[in-house]
Amino acid sequence: MNLNDKEKNQILELIKNNQKLPKEYIYKLFEEDEDVFLFWNGRKEEVTNVSLPFHSIEHIDEPRQEKNDDSELFSTDGRGRQIKGWTNKLIWGDNKLILSSLVNGPLRKEIENQGGLKLIYIDPPFAVGSDFGFNIELNGENIEKKQNVIEEIAYRDTWGRGISSYLNMMYERLKLMHNLLAEDGSIYLHCDWRVGYYLRFLLDDVFGSNQFVNEIAWCTTGASRVEKNYPRKHDTILYYSKSPKYTFNKDTIRIPYAEGSIDRANRNVIATGGMNFDSIELNADGKVPEDFWLDIQRAARYPGENVGYPTQKSEKLLERIIKASSNEGDLIADFFCGSGTTAAVAEKLGRKWITADLGRFAIHTTRKRLINVQRELKNTGKDFRAFEVLNLGKYERQFFMDDLSNGELKTKEEIYKNLILEAYKANKIENHINIHGQKNNRFIHIGPLDVPVTQTRIEDIFEECKSNLYTQIDVLGFEFEMGLTPQYIQELSEKGVAISLKYIPKDVFDKRAIVKGQVKFFDVAYLDAKVNIQDKSIDIDLINFVTNYTQDDLEVIEETLKKSSSKIIIDSGKIIKVSKDKNEIITRETLTNNWSDWVDYWAIDFDYLSKKEIVKIKNENGEIEEKWTGNYLFENEWQSFRTKKHPAIEYKSIQHTYPKAGEYKIMVKVVDILGIDTSKIIKITIV
């Protein structure tokens, strides 16, 4: 350590006074560790080390026409649906917690049983604005769906302190990915000029500079405005391996030689005095692409491929990467999945996949896209795997609460209720059993952290309100039992207690959002469906959908709107175009004219109780145990949805025939144009 006594004393004084060390002292302290040390403000070596169980909230599998007991890929049941073998994973949530749970949890063994994770492709944010907002097209107008608070917080955590916070975010995730990657695996990281050189340093640090394979320039064409710069026409793809042993299938990605290449090669042979022509690699199938790719364009340039997602990459790009660096049957992953291009191409090329994203709209877009891929493969007689939609559910909420209550003297239950009341801007009240707070003239009940608000709980709330002569109460919950229909709530209102059900958003777990008053609770949406029974067969009509989702403050928008301009907002379940003319006269035009305008996707499980939801949990001894959550898995047996290419939707399902008489529960799920799920259970009797 090259420090004199004076410098050592100065450093000690600065540390005692809790002051920052000058950079030159930091460099001297670490100068003997490495020739080049990568340092930024806030760098931490430790990574998240939690293992949270994954909830399987939906299982999607297009029934195969050829039913079999066993194939090379998996087993199927009598309906042609997969029952054994690897199921692909689409995971919604924070990829830091997802990666940590994959690294440390039971799924790690499943991944290793598949031969390990052979390839990771990621396309992380580039610092180009909101990462999670998106536009919806409705009746000829574009509506902006703003990022919700949890997404906005993720964005602030990524860019709040500039490049240092971005490096913190990426460094931890890259270390987790490196841990998860098979020894013979590789990673492709897609970036642009804004962050490319920073990420190259990070990858050198995590993987080792000797594991750098190449830097690929993905070049695109098209018109550009030229002012005081050369047009920016390429992104960068950084390619690293985990070890010197990695897959590179050069013959699967060959492209045609440029016109005249063979003639030029012949001339080179003559110019070099008769070099052996065989030593020049001229393959009948073409050449291996150089590290500048000129022959692949953006997704929007390929007809029918664009799904309307802002950061979508073309399938041809992922096809080249996946073919080059994995083999059929290999497992690959994308932890910033966006529109799901990696998963779509992987499925078409016979690879297994795991893909994840924090954005609800990204998960919904990917789900629709993968259903279409299943349909395409089925129509052409090709194999495909089932996939499941996963999240960390109540375990993620428990993790957030454990983090918030660390060091607190109050019980976790007290901390939880105080947190929700503060977010809801309500006051705490004592000496009640089921009533926890009050906001203006309405009382508040806070539902449990881990389980849905049930009908029994609602009845207990109702009785306590009646005995205290309370006539209005808001019931807040993360989840609600399916039987809490508008009709049931209306009946309680007619008996003297007006009950309003509202979702608690995950945003409450960030104190910054609470302090700034950004947390929005929104009313539970409802759907209505009609079951038509004939003998042992049924079909279902979707007949109504009600949402009260609010994104904007209508009055504030009208006050701040400029003359001769307009803005489209979402308020109380309506999408409204607000306009102000040159005389400052305001008009409102409702764009959602019918309940069906809100429906983007709906799906049916005709026998909801047929499959229990089982989660795998590590016990205290590190052994893996299977545990029933008390819930059932939504088997997505039929669905209809909008796409950019086919915007129409069907509101009557196919006919489904039950094998025998009995009592059944059907679950109907609607996903609205904002990507928010609403479900309903319908009981039927088949005679």
CA–CA distance, 660 with 577 (Å, rounded to integer) = 51
Quick check: 33 pLDDT over 90?
no
Answer for the pair 309, 299: CB distance below 8 angstroms, yes or no: no
Phi, psi (5° rounding) for residue 166? Answer: -65, -45
Interval 153-167 mean pLDDT: 71
Answer for the pair 170, 205: CB distance below 8 angstroms, yes or no: no
Considering only CA atoms, give the Rg of the chain.
Answer: 28
Instruction: Using pLDDT thresholds of 50, 70 and 90, give the confidence band for residue 227.
Output: confident
More confident residue, 271 or 319: 319
- Per residue in 538-577, pLDDT (tens digit) is 999 999 999 888 777 788 888 889 999 988 888 888 888 8
Instruction: Using pLDDT thresholds of 50, 70 and 90, give the confidence band for residue 272.
Output: very low
Quick check: 425 pLDDT over 70?
yes
Tokens of 439: 């906001």
- Per residue in 373-400, pLDDT (tens digit) is 999 999 998 989 999 999 988 888 888 7
Answer for the pair 419, 405: CB distance below 8 angstroms, yes or no: no
Phi, psi (5° rounding) for residue 627? Answer: -140, 135
Select the CATH number that applies to the domain covering 407-523 from these four: 2.40.30, 2.30.29, 3.40.1350, 3.40.50: 3.40.1350
Instruction: Using pLDDT thresholds of 50, 70 and 90, give the confidence band for residue 616.
Output: confident
Quick check: 159 pLDDT over 80?
no
Interval 278-301 mean pLDDT: 82
Task: Give me the sheet containing 181-191, strands edge to edge.
Answer: 292-293, 212-219, 234-241, 181-191, 117-122, 331-334, 352-357, 88-92, 387-391, 55-60, 635-636
Instruction: Using pLDDT thresholds of 50, 70 and 90, give the confidence band for residue 401.
Output: confident
The reported pLDDT for the residue numbered 129 is 47
**CATH class, 114-253+288-383 region:** alpha beta
- Per residue in 457-510, pLDDT (tens digit) is 999 999 999 999 999 999 999 988 877 788 889 999 999 999 999 999 888 887
Cα separation values, 617 from 97, 328, 395, Å: 15, 30, 11
Cα separation values, 412 from 54, 416, 448, 460, Å: 23, 6, 12, 23
Answer for the pair 68, 81: CB distance below 8 angstroms, yes or no: no
Instruction: Using pLDDT thresholds of 50, 70 and 90, give the confidence band for residue 164.
Output: confident
Residue ranges matching CATH 3.40.1350 in the chain: 407-523
Residue ranges matching CATH 3.40.50.150 in the chain: 114-253+288-383
Q: What does DSSP assign to residue 306?
A: -
The reported pLDDT for the residue numbered 130 is 47
Tokens of 539: 């079909």
The region of weakest confidence among 21-30, 39-48, 135-144 is 135-144
Average pLDDT, rounded, for the chain: 86
> Any alpha helices (H) in 233-303, and if so which ranges?
261-271
Instruction: Using pLDDT thresholds of 50, 70 and 90, give the confidence band for residue 4.
Output: confident
The reported pLDDT for the residue numbered 279 is 54
> For helices 163-180 and 196-207, what crossing angle results, to 10°?
40
Residues 6+ apart with CB under 8 A from 135: 142, 143, 144, 145, 308, 310
Quick check: 150 pLDDT over 80?
no
For residue 586, list its beta bridge partners.
580
- Per residue in 73-90, pLDDT (tens digit) is 677 777 778 878 899 999
- Per residue in 37-77, pLDDT (tens digit) is 778 878 888 898 989 999 888 999 988 765 555 555 677 77
CA–CA distance, 480 with 586 (Å, rounded to integer) = 39
> For helices 341-348 and 315-325, what crossing angle results, to 10°?
60
Quick check: 619 pLDDT over 50?
yes
